[in-house]
Structure 1
């Protein structure tokens, strides 16, 4: 699916989506190379080269290609050849035109890349009167050779990438007549300051491209008349020096400044009154704030690109992009978390009255709801919105009600699984919509209104997992009747396939009307039976899920009011005062805190399974015997308790036990256990029983032991009574012994 529209202005398209002038310049130089792809080819140039026509219908050969032939000369080509690609051969030096170019006098595009050339003499191209584009990439040339090439009459473009050229002297190009409008250069002189003063002598020059050169600063001592300056992927920390000593612009006509791939994190003073496009992508910005970008220094700025694939943008502050003339803003691959109000101000995009194109691909929208989205972007009068490769999942008509002027909307690979009926109905001007590569299974007649279907010129729905059933038949018929609406030059019917039917394209899927129609009585019967099953299953599942809640509630209503528990405590003979249920991960807490307090200070006898379970006995028997032989049961809830099967068994067994004896469980929580992690039994107990929470600090610890002693008062009171009884028995035995001594 075509990703970018051609309905916007040319400058906006080029800048908003990275299609910069330099790309077209390079394409012109290598147009001949591309022209022979999939075209009829014949041998030419002494049978060592290849020639082809411009297209399938042309008769004359227009392109000649000689690549890695080892030639030391340029062979004779047909007079019709206009593009000559002479790459990776062996033209070490060119001094005399009659010895080299006499066989190709009609060429307009000449590529002499990687030929080990080191020198071009004066007037060397004088015989090539139609030459307009010259590419000498990958050779080792002197500045004198460059001067000679700039002097070629009629030459419009010179590309000298990878020629190891230093910054030219200020007088390098004086006293020459040059028609060159475009110069493409690169340099290997790392850390250099590049002086562009020499280019002021070239009156026709419009474009300078100096990329991949490790330049750290760019200066000029005169006014350059260029309109486009590209300084991509250097070592620049600031914009080129553009203000003279008198604060006048040194680039008065510069419209486009491309500074992508440098180390800029702050924009200093700039004198660029004509600039309408600024690319600061892939620099080192961490926060977008107005006083660091200073985009208001560009009074005519229309396009701003701040893509970032190398660093995470930490924040976007208030009115970061505020500008009265800004029309297009690109923030792709910045991974900005728009849900974080602490990092992205609610008015970050305020102050942009003319902003109509906004690209936000590859950012973070995971937790952005309708209100937050409108808070950020609702004030913008957008016509183009790019949101692809964000996690959005659900969209609402409430959002699009505020963007009724949208003409293009990109929702590619956003995780959308459903298109609500009429979600785009308010977008009356929308003619380009791309929802490719999502999780949409069906599209119905209600998804797109009749008015919208008539307005759309391109609708991308490829690479979605369509469920080819009766509900999809309407969309299938629409797709078959208007294939050009869904397919363009970059897509095919293979993108539209049935996810539930192997090797079946959407266009091939078909069901008759009879297969999709059932009688009303059958529909009613299906609905009634299905409803009854749903009610039954729901009731059963609810009863099962809340079985302990129900059982505990009934227990509270019907349990006896007699003193069954007290009678059991007085009548039975117990080996333990308290049975402690815990998981092995909480044993350190039991040993360090619970046992010293209850056994050491209160004198109670605890049943701890590591110590008191009888070896060799069945675990279930040990649990049953020890619970029955304990006066009270204490459960130690924790995150690990949740995942222990034996602890859950003990909880279930102990619940049954306390219900039988009209008793209650003692619950202590040693850490925070979230409700979603708890089992139904634990949830029921915590909702019906007051539990005691453990805390590490002084006040919390004291409160914990005080509440636990209060909960164990029945056991501790009995312990005191037993102690007193034992003291009385000891005293009586002592008196009897004394009496015996007296009698004797």
Structure 2
């Protein structure tokens, strides 16, 4: 799978791949010689038994070479990671200067010196990676970069090189360069001084995560759109306001996660007119002050997950910004019942669409507080209050939040749902009430219109009372199994004793048996007074034992789902092997995004920075209306593609088979076809890519057909 800009080569590609920067944040990954994906028919040895080539790609990783050999004339990308080029001069590249080389990885070569003219002959070079060459000093690099002055270099990776500082003249040899992406992750930098990068007039992205930075010195960077300072030891953020202007007038994404910030202050991020995403996760922030995020006209996303301050307070109007669409605070464990959180915290957030307060402490909070807390959030489409110790559903939800599309109340202490809870929630399609203590769900709470409208329901891990009273519920579950997440494995009876631990899928109640049960009940009730007394005593004792079981039954299942299902980001998530990247760039993106206006999620371009690959895959699938699976000999042998396909299958069980679009790019040998892939190869379900390059009309019709399948769900014209 792909890497993101902040993990460029260092964390993932260090062992099994090398990467090519293809867009603002996207990375295209090429396999190593030891990777299973290189063993297909498209890869062949092109130099002894050391270097392997496939089309324009050459891979000489782990070759122990002290020189760069002659390679095929069509090679444009060379992975020379983990070799022994200790000294690099103009002669080092003599065998490849005739190539139109665009990408070159010299990571982990134990390089000690690079002459000032060594790189000058690589006239078409766009991406250079020197990761892991920790013998090079800043002076050595400044010398080497003189050869890059007139080269169209777009990205430069200097991660894992134990650099302690960036001298002001380190990049002066590149003053005429068009460099846009600079990665300096996982070094030993103690200071970020923008003056050191000012000579790079076109710089768009600077990645400085995983260093030891404690000092920040801003300077004017007119085009910088992304600044990542996560994983450092920053304790204070200076003002972004320069003399009559902003230091970063076009900055859109600022990441300060996993630092040592302890405070916020009013107008803290003023003078960032284009900021869209602000990441402050996992800082020891004590609290959020009034108007911390005000005066940011384009701020859409605020991430405050897992804050770990000691006081944990939120002042009134702390998030006062009508432009914010998404606020994520799960895991920060604010206590709402001790006056540390002001009831007007969210005042002014009239545009908020998604709010996640999961794993806060809301035990004992009164209804008037909730009414004030949510008063400006009437347009909210998604609310997550999982793990908040709630013993009842706040009245403010049904009374005020009529636009909710998803509601998450998992892992609380709820024992019932009010009958009129969903009466005004006419847009609700996703409901998560799993991990509570609810024995029965009343049929009046779930009228027929609601049951038909709901698309995803999770009521798992509740202590179901398996009596005739749930007969209606069993009928609903069996009729709409695909809607119920975790069914049947986590839907089990807690009572009566003879059904204990049985799955709801294993029990049934006929109309006759339930009618007989009611008849017997009436007869017993109308019997003698001693029998009635005995019955009542037994029922009370039984009910007392039953409640004890409930209070002992609490399964806390952490759930990080925060996707706003009504406002999904993407029309489709594309599953493909990185060996097929050229085809994706040449065919898929121009035809579906440019011509048909669809928004696609491509892992090499759109994965979140710093996130685990598994998390990125799951969140991207959940945030996409459809999944486009590109089947080829490469993709069916990729473990990450297999994972993506299996997860997409799981989602299709909920959203229906039309949520999957299968494109057969090439014929596949049956010996590589797994059972899950075999299901996708039903001729009624996949779309075959026309192999004939000259059949233009067939390809046009192909893309029209794919786009139509996507738009069938998205509702696009």
The question of whether the paired residues in 2 share the 8 Å contact of 1:397 and 1:422 is answered with no
Q: Does 1:367 align with 2:364?
A: yes
SS in 2 for 1:144: helix
Task: Give the CA deviation at 1:255.
Answer: 1.9
CA 1:439–1:519 in 2, change beyond 3 Å: closer, same or farther? closer
What's the secondary structure of 2:341's corresponding residue?
Answer: coil
2:132 matched residue in structure 1: 138
Checking the alignment, whether the CA contact within 8 Å between 1:226 and 1:254 is kept in structure 2 is: yes
Is 1:252 equivalent to 2:249 in the alignment? yes
Distance verdict in 2 for CA 1:93–1:224, change over 3 Å: farther
User: What is the Cα deviation at residue 248 of structure 1?
Assistant: 1.9
- 1:282 is matched with 282
Match of 2:108 among 97, 107, 114: 114
Corresponding position of 1:451: 449
1:162 aligned to 150, 160, 170, which one? 160
SS in structure 2 of the partner of residue 295 of structure 1: coil
Report if aligned partners of 1:41, 1:50 keep a CA contact under 8 Å in 2.
Answer: no
SS of corresponding position for 1:375: helix
Quick one: structure 1 residues 226 and 472, their matched pair in 2 at CA, closer, same or farther if it must change by over 3 Å?
same
Give the equivalent residue in structure 2 for 1:461. 459
Alignment of 1:34-49 (within 5 A): 44-45=44-45
Aligned to 1:180: 179
Given that 2:74 and 2:99 are in contact with CA atoms closer than 8 Å, whether structure 1 keeps it comes out as no
Change (3 A) 1:540 1:328: closer
Kindly name which structure, 1 or 2, has the bigger radius of gyration based on alpha carbons: 1
Distance in 2 separating the partners of 1:307 and 1:47: 52
CA shift, 1:249, in A, is: 1.4
Partner-residue secondary structure (3-state), 1:372:
helix
Contact 1:167 1:196 in 2 (8 A): no
- Seen in structure 2, the aligned counterparts of structure 1 residues 286 and 102 have a Cα distance that, compared at 3 Å, is same
CA distance in 1, matches of 2:64, 2:74: 24
Counting only pairs closer than 5 Å after superposition, residues 495-510 of structure 1 correspond to structure 2 as 507=505
Deviation track 1:150-200 (CA, whole Å, cap 9, x = no partner) reads 66856543332222332242572455443433222136556x432222433
Provide closer, same or farther for how the CA distance between residues 23 and 29 of structure 1 changes in structure 2, counting only shifts above 3 A. closer
Displacement of 1:455 in angstroms is: 2.9
> Structure 1 residues 79 and 364 mapped into 2: Cα distance closer, same or farther (>3 Å)?
farther
Change (3 A) 1:269 1:321: closer
Distance 1:349 1:269, change over 3 A: closer
CA contact (8 A) 1:397 1:424 kept: no
Asked if residue 429 in structure 1 is aligned to residue 423 in structure 2, the reply is no
| Inter-partner Cα distance in structure 2 for 1:461 and 1:123 | 64
C-alpha distance 181-261 of structure 1, shift in aligned 2 (>3 A):
same
Q: Distance in 1 between matches of 2:127 and 2:65?
A: 22
Q: How far apart are residue 286 of structure 1 and its match?
A: 1.7
Structure 1: distance between partners of 2:157 and 2:70? 25
Does the aligned pair in 2 maintain the 1:119–1:145 contact within 8 Å?
A: no
1:278, 1:255 → 2: CA distance? 8
1:588-616 Cα offsets, whole Å, 9 max, x none, are xxxxxxxxxxxxxxxxxxxxxxxxxxxxx
Shift of 1:473: 5.0
Q: Per-residue deviation at 1:404?
A: 0.3
1:226 Cα deviation after fit? 0.5
- In structure 2, the CA distance between the partners of 1:496 and 1:187, relative to structure 1 (3 Å rule), is same
Please state how far the C-alpha of 1:532 moved relative to its aligned partner. 6.4
Q: CA deviation at 1:302?
A: 3.3
2:198 is paired with a residue whose SS is helix
Cα distance, 1:505–1:523 mapped onto 2, change above 3 Å: closer
Task: Determine the C-alpha separation between the residues in 2 that align with 1:102 and 1:464.
Answer: 66
Higher relative helix content: 1
d(CA) in 1 for partners of 2:119, 2:468: 74
Partner residue of 1:331 out of 309, 329, 332: 329
- Is the contact between residue 48 and residue 66 of structure 1 (CA under 8 Å) also seen in structure 2? no
Which residue in the other structure is 1:344 paired with? 341
The CA deviation at 1:403 is 0.3
> For residues 243 and 81 of structure 1, do their structure 2 counterparts lie closer, same or farther at Cα, with a shift above 3 Å needed?
same
1:395 counterpart = 2:393: yes
Q: Call closer, same or farther: CA 1:160–1:154 in 2, change over 3 Å.
A: same
Contact 2:67 2:92 in 1 (8 A): no
Greater relative CO, 1 or 2 (CA 8 Å, sep 6+): 2
Equivalent pair of 2:146/2:174 in contact (CA under 8 Å): no
Partner SS state of residue 201, structure 1:
coil
Contact preservation (8 Å) 1:173, 1:201: yes
Native 8 Å contact 2:264 2:289 kept in 1: no
Q: Is the 8 A contact 1:82 1:109 kept in 2?
A: yes
SS at match of 1:518: helix
Summarize the Cα distance change of 1:460–1:123 in structure 2 as closer, same or farther, 3 Å threshold.
farther
Give distance in 2, aligned partners of 1:148 and 1:473.
78
- Report the Cα offset of residue 66 of structure 1: 6.8
Q: 1:298 maps to what in 2?
A: 296
CA contact (8 A) 1:470 1:516 kept: yes
Q: Deviations over 1:235-278 (max 9, x none)?
A: 3233245333x332121111222222333324458432322332
Residue 315 of structure 2 aligns with which residue? Answer: 317
Q: Alignment partner of 2:278: what SS?
A: strand
Residue 350 of structure 2 is aligned to residue 353 of structure 1:
yes
Q: CA deviation at 1:396?
A: 5.1
Note closer, same or farther for the CA distance 1:503–1:28 as it changes in structure 2 (3 Å cut). Answer: farther
**Where does the alignment leave 5 or more consecutive residues of structure 1 unmatched?**
1-21, 53-59, 543-744
Residue 525 to residue 185, structure 1, CA distance change in 2 (3 Å): same
What is the CA–CA distance in structure 2 between the aligned matches of 1:483 and 1:106, rounded to whole Å? 56
Q: Secondary structure at the match of 2:27?
A: helix
**Where in structure 2 are there 5+ consecutive unaligned residues?**
1-20, 541-717
In the alignment, the residues of structure 2 paired with residue 531 and residue 157 of structure 1 have an alpha-carbon distance, to the nearest angstrom, of 88
Is contact 2:303-2:329 (8 Å) kept? yes
Give secondary structure in 1 for the equivalent of 2:400: coil
Tell me whether 1:379 sits opposite 2:376 in the alignment: yes
Normalised by the size of structure 1, how large is the TM-score? Answer: 0.57
1:24: Cα distance to partner? 9.7
Aligned partner of 2:271 in structure 1 is 271
The worse-fitting range, judged by mean Cα deviation, of 452-461 and 99-108 is 99-108
- Indicate how the Cα distance of structure 1 residues 310 and 256 shifts in structure 2: closer, same or farther if over 3 A, else same: same
Distance 1:71 1:416 in 2: 65
Aligned residues: 505
Q: Give me the whole-angstrom Cα distance separating, in 1, the residues matched to 2:33 and 2:351.
A: 39
Q: Deviations over 1:296-349 (max 9, x none)?
A: 3534433333334432343222322223433333323322111123x2223232
Asked if the contact 1:41/1:51 (under 8 Å) is kept, the reply is: no
